[in-house]
Every structure is written in C-alpha cells, then in structure tokens.
C-alpha cells in the first residue's frame, strides 16, 4: 500500500521519521547531559563543603566542636545544610532546616551521593566519616535541588514543545523541497507520455542541472534513439522481407498460371517446373536466412564452440570456392600456413561465413578475374582474408553492407542471386566468436574482406 503513495510523500514521511528519531535521541541525550551536569556541579560543591567541615572537626576539641561548626555554617549565610553525628548517634550539629525536616542520618555507603526526598523537598546528600580525639563522626552535607529540578523541568518542557514544532516545520520544508526536486521528473514523465509509435523523433528536454536528473534524461533520450533506430530497422526489415518474399512467390505463381493456361509440350512443362524449382530453392534459402536472423535476434540461436583448426575449415570452404570460380572462368588462389591454426569456435558457422564471402567475391568478379583466400596470424589474432578483383564497393556503401537486405547498387541485385542477408549473417557469426570483419574496397578494382578471430 505504501508503494502506491507518490514518491514525494514517501520521501517526506521517511525524512520526517528519521528526523523525529534523531530529535528524540537528541532530546533524551540533552536532558540526560543537563541532569548529569547539575549533579556533577552540586556534587563537587558538596565535596568541598564536606571537606571544610571535616577539616574543622579534625582540628577541634570535642566540647567546642558544636560551636565551631555552627559558626562555620553561619558564615555561609545559613545556606549550608549540615549535620554532624558522633558514633553514639548524637547530633554534634544540625542545620535548623534539616532539624525541621527531621532529616535522617545517612551513613556513607558505596555510593556516597544520594538524592533524598524529604516531604516535597528534594535534597542531594553527601556523607563521609572522620575521626577526631578518639571519636568517630559522620558528616552529612546536603543541597536543596528544587531550583535545579525546576530549571531542568523548564528545559525539558521547552524541548518537548519545541521539537514537534521544529518537526512540523522541517516536514513541510522537506515536502516543499521534494516537490521542487522532483518537478523535472514530472516534466520528463509528461514528455515521455507524449512520445508515440508514429513519431519516435521526440526527445525529453534536458534539465541542465548536471545531476542525476540530467543523466536520467540523457539515458532516456539515448534509449529513445536506440528504440527509434530499432523501429526503423524493423520497418525496413519487414518491408524488404515482404518485397523479397513477394517477388519469388509472384514469379512462381505467374509461371504456373502461364503453364496451365493452355496445353504444353513435355519440354515446356519441364522448363516451367525447372523455373518454379529454381525460385522455390531461392525462396527456401531466403526463409532459412530469415529464420536464422530471427533466432539470433531472440538469442535462441547458439553456437557449439570447440577447439578447431581454422586452416582445415578454410580448406573445406576453399574447395567449394574453387568450384564456383572455375564455373565462371575466374582465377582461384589460396594460401595456407604449413602448420595448423587452432582456435575456439564453431566449425560449421565459420565455414558458412567463409562461403558467404567467397560466394560474394565470385558473384561480383567478372570473367577472367581473380579471387583468393589466405589464412594467417598477426598480433595474436587469426585471420582469414578473401580478396577479389571485382567491381568493388563505393565508399558511401561500405558502412551499410552488413545491414540486412542492403544491396549497394543495381549491380548487386537479386539477379546475382542474393537477398542482402549473407553479410548480415556473416557479421553475426564473427561477432559471436568475439571477432569482427574488416573491409577494404576500391570501385572497379576489387574488395578485400578480413575475418579476425581470437586465437
């Protein structure tokens, strides 16, 4: 239930509770310290008075002791509360007020200071014993605590009245500060609510405070930018996939309708079925690639890593590459190190990546051109290089060649057999191996793709 309360109210409540606890602790500590200070002051005064009486008793004859103690007490303007008792319990001297209060004799115990209430009068009493002329005397001095306790009560009342007032004022101030501090959050919330799927270009205004709220707004804007990019990519992906799926389906349907429009010879039917089969194979390949990309996006497509020889994987891909190159009258070359090059990876996935690069190199290289593959190691990394002398890639197209369904120009169209998904899949395979692909290309001179893998 508390979680449903607005955060500014929760902050105010928590702030008030912590402040109230701190003030209560402070109040108790302040009252205790004041009370303790009073007792320390009074006790020191009582000790001094008792020592003075003790010195007087120790240096006097017993017959004259009563008069000497009375004279000393009267010199203190009668403010001292003193009584001296001998070992028989007889009073040598007793202040008139203690006599009036019939104050009992309190003999020294482990705790020499005692707070005693005689009637309504609180007294702080200190008792010691002393010996003189073969007699033992008990000396008691006392201090009236009425004024001290009244001052303590006034102080306690001031605190217990002042603290609630201070707490209320602080709570109101805390609520005002929390509202003021969270105003930018409300503005960010309103701005975010105005963003809708039809227009993801809107952004949250930065508060310019340089604090957590500004970082929150910057993070939200960065998230919106990523969502906008992903949304555009999804729309483009859907549009491209729809187009590339529609085209072969339309060709299959058209070819079948033409073949069925009138009787045909066996040869004509065979030719029509051959075209339908070719488009079906292309369509199956496209669907397979789309499903692979969908699995990689959802994180369900996993690779099986093991210790593999990169040279062996490259040789298998090179064998198929040479067959493709020979079919197009393209010169094929390959260079492999003499020893094995062991890495951690998925052999099938890496073979597919190399075949994508080799297939592209052969497709976009004219007859009698050159295509080659090289395997090597540099700076602790293994690499596979696929180069060609083909049409090359324009500099403006290089940043986008790994985008899905991207085809650089009319020369790289579906007529060459591609859908613009091969390099996207290859890039995913390289990154899944904690590696990457670099490209160098010059229009009209050819391209060079390098796959870098940790060894």
SS (H, E, C) the chain: CHHHCCHHHHHHHHHHHHHHHHHHHHHHHHHHHHHHHHHHHHHHHHHHHHHHHHHHHHCCCHHHHHHHHHHHHHHCCCCCEEEEEECCCCEEEECHHHHHHCCCCCCCCCCCEEEEEECCEEEEEEEEEEEECCEEEEEEEEEECHHHHHHHHHHHHHHHHHHHHHHHHHHHHHHHHHHHHHHHHHHHHHHHHCCECCECCCCCCCCCCCCHHHHHHHHHHHHHHHHHHHHHHHHHHHHHHHHHHHHHHHHHHHHHHHHHHCCCCHHHHHHHHHHHHHHHHHHHHHHHHHHHHHHHHHCCCCCCCEEEEHHHHHHHHHHHHHHHHHHCCCEEEEECCCCCCEEEECHHHHHHHHHHHHHHHHHCCCCCCEEEEEEEEECCEEEEEEEECCCCCCCCCHHHCCCCCCCCCCCCCHHHCCCCCHHHHHHHHHHHCCCEEEEEEECCCEEEEEEEEEC
Residues 380-404 pLDDT 10s: 899 999 999 999 998 888 888 888 7
Q: Which residue has the tokens 């397979």?
A: 288
Residues 401-421 pLDDT 10s: 888 777 665 444 444 555 677
Q: Which residue has the tokens 């490259």?
A: 314
| CA neighbor of 332 nearest in space, from 368, 280, 296, 286 | 368
For the ranges 156-160, 174-178, 187-191, 326-330, which has the lowest average pLDDT?
187-191
Residues 34-46 pLDDT 10s: 888 988 998 898 8
Which pLDDT does position 317 carry in this prediction? 93
Which pLDDT does position 77 carry in this prediction? 44
Task: Report strand pairing: 135-144 vs 81-86.
Answer: antiparallel
Tokens of 432: 């899944």
Q: Which residue has the tokens 């109210």?
A: 9
Q: Model-level pTM?
A: 0.50
Which pLDDT does position 304 carry in this prediction? 85
Task: Tell whether the model's pLDDT for residue 292 goes beyond 60.
Answer: yes
- Are 158 and 165 a contacting pair, CB within 8 Å? no
Residues 86-121 pLDDT 10s: 888 888 888 888 877 777 877 676 667 888 776 677
Half-sphere exposure of 409 (CA within 13 A, CB side): 11
Ranked by mean pLDDT, the top range of 3-17, 54-68, 91-105 is: 91-105
Mean pLDDT over 61-87 rounds to 66
Which pLDDT does position 21 carry in this prediction? 86
- Are 365 and 430 a contacting pair, CB within 8 Å? no
Which pLDDT does position 67 carry in this prediction? 65
What whole-number percentage of the chain has pLDDT above 70?
Answer: 83
Task: Tell whether the model's pLDDT for residue 62 goes beyond 60.
Answer: no
- Are 233 and 398 a contacting pair, CB within 8 Å? no
| Higher per-residue pLDDT: 333 or 240 | 333
Tokens of 207: 């508060």
| Structural domains of the chain, with CATH | 2-153 (3.30.450.20), 212-298 (1.10.287.130), 306-454 (3.30.565.10)
Which pLDDT does position 369 carry in this prediction? 94
Give just the sign of the alpha carbon dihedral 168, 169, 174, 175: positive
321 vs 363: CA distance, rounded Å: 11
Which pLDDT does position 391 carry in this prediction? 92
Which pLDDT does position 410 carry in this prediction? 46
């Amino acid at each position: 239930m508390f979680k449903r309360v607005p955060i500014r109210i929760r902050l105010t409540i928590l702030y008030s509770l912590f402040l109230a606890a701190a003030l209560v602790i402070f109040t108790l500590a302040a009252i205790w310290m004041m009370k303790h200070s009073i007792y320390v002051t009074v006790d020191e005064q009582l000790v001094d008075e008792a020592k003075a009486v003790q010195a007087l008793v120790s240096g006097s004859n017993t017959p004259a002791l009563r008069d000497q103690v009375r004279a000393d007490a009267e010199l203190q303007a009668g403010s001292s509360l003193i009584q001296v008792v001998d070992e028989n319990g007889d009073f040598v001297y007793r202040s008139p007020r203690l006599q009036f209060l019939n104050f009992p004799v309190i003999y020294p115990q482990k705790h020499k200071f005692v707070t005693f209430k005689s009637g309504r009068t609180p007294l702080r009493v200190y008792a010691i014993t002393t010996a003189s002329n073969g007699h033992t005397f008990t000396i008691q001095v006392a201090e009236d605590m009425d004024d001290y306790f009244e001052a303590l009560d006034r102080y306690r009342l001031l605190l217990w009245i002042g603290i609630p007032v201070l707490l209320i004022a602080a709570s109101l101030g805390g609520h005002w500060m929390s509202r003021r501090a969270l105003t930018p959050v409300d503005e960010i919330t309103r701005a975010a609510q105005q963003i809708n799927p039809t227009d993801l270009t809107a952004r949250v205004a930065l508060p310019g405070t340089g604090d957590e709220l500004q970082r929150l707004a910057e993070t939200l804007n960065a998230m919106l930018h990523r969502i906008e990019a992903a949304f555009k990519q999804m729309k483009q992906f859907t549009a491209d996939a729809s187009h590339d799926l529609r085209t072969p389906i339309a060709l299959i349907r058209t070819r079948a309708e033409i073949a069925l429009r009138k009787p045909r010879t066996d040869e004509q039917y065979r030719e029509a079925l051959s075209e339908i089969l070719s488009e079906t194979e292309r369509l199956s390949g496209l669907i397979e690639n789309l499903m692979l990309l969908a699995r990689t996006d959802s994180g369900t497509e996993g690779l099986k890593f093991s210790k593999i020889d990169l040279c062996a994987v490259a040789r298998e891909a090179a064998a198929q590459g040479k067959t493709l190159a020979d079919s197009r009258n393209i010169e094929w070359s390959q260079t492999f190190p003499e020893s094995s090059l062991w890495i951690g990876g998925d052999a099938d996935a890496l073979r597919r990546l190399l075949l994508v690069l080799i297939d592209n190199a052969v497709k976009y290289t004219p007859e009698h051109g050159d295509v080659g593959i090289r395997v090597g190691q540099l700076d602790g990394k293994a690499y596979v290089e696929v180069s060609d002398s083909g049409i090359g890639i324009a500099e403006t197209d290089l940043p986008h060649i790994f985008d899905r369904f991207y085809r650089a120009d009319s020369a790289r169209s579906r007529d060459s057999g591609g859908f613009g998904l091969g390099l996207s899949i290859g890039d995913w395979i390289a990154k899944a191996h904690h590696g990457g692909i670099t490209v160098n290309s010059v229009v009209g001179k050819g391209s060079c793709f390098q796959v870098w893998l940790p060894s």
